[in-house]
Amino acid sequence: MRTIRVAAAQSGPIQKAEPRDDVVRRLVALLEEAARRGARLVVFPELALTTFFPRWYMEEETDVLAWFEPSMPSPTTRPLFDRARELGIGFSLGYAELTPEGRRFNTSILVDERGEIVGKYRKIHLPGHVAYDPDRAFQHLEKRYFEPGDLGFPVWRTLGGIMGMCICNDRRWPETWRVLGLQSVELVMLGFNTPSVNSQDSAEGPTQRLFHHRLSMQAGAYQNATWAVAVAKAGVEDGHALMGGTLIVDPNGEIVAESATLEDELVLYDCDLDACRFGKQTIFDFARHRRTEHYGLITSRTGARPPD
């Protein structure tokens, strides 16, 4: 067996006023606890260093850029990298990336046990809107503050397996999973910040949003015979509720571990990467069963339209 103990490191709310140094200390504490419990890989949420700032409309460029990281590791995040290297543990981390050219992305990086960045993914399926919407209780301005990712859906051989990443809304799109699956991915890491209906939503409450979240993760994992790790930012953040739902799904689509709170919490599981083989060699043996000559609409058309 090729088993890797994975720690899904859910984050409780990060308030707008919380200093980034304090957030990094919380992440380091979760990393250290994960290492004590035998994990080799820690998965942190989307935009793990800040509150979910796209809920606010900002016109001034300086106000927007305050939420972004122009380098990684940055001076603020260096302690997380250093501690990971000392402990010999890998991690993935979501953050707002500012490139040297001034481009902005919703990004996740993969760091190996040496503390080195070995992979980067930029969120492709950006939800929300660009302009201020006066009819909304809160804004969802990812399309205003980020560009769609330009790196595709890469995978990496590291930590003993074939690893991939995606972010939040990507989980709802089957194309995300299939492109990763066509590269024989064995473990997909995903961070998310998903609003909840009310402040009482949690992994224990069967709300429709949690149902759709679980459905997307389970279907994606099963249909591509891969492990899937989804990690939430949860709780009431600056008066806005984010749902929990941190979970780990096996290659058969079964949820094998799930969070119980809306706070900082570790969800651990021993993921046998060899468990992917059966699905990849039987039901989802792509080389034998896929019929690409019939799939042209997937890449030739974006919007749906009925027949003439």
Asked whether 291 and 298 are in contact (CB, 8 A), the reply is: no
Of the residues 97, 142, 168, 237, only one is catalytic, namely 168
CB atoms near residue 188 (< 10 Å): 29
Active-site residue flag, 166 = no
Structure tokens at 107: 């990004």
CA 18 to chain centre: 22
Active-site residue flag, 123 = yes
Question: What residues contact residue 262 under an 8 Å CB cut-off, 6+ apart?
Answer: 12, 13, 202, 234, 235, 236, 242, 243, 244
Collapsing DSSP to helix, strand or coil, 41 comes out as: strand
For residue 147, what is the DSSP state?
P
Run of H or E residues at 277: helix 277-281
Of the residues 46, 69, 142, 265, only one is catalytic, namely 46
Kind of pairing between the strands at 155-158 and 161-167: antiparallel
Of the residues 123, 166, 276, 280, only one is catalytic, namely 123
d(CA 28, CA 23): 9
Catalytic positions, written as ranges = 46, 123, 168
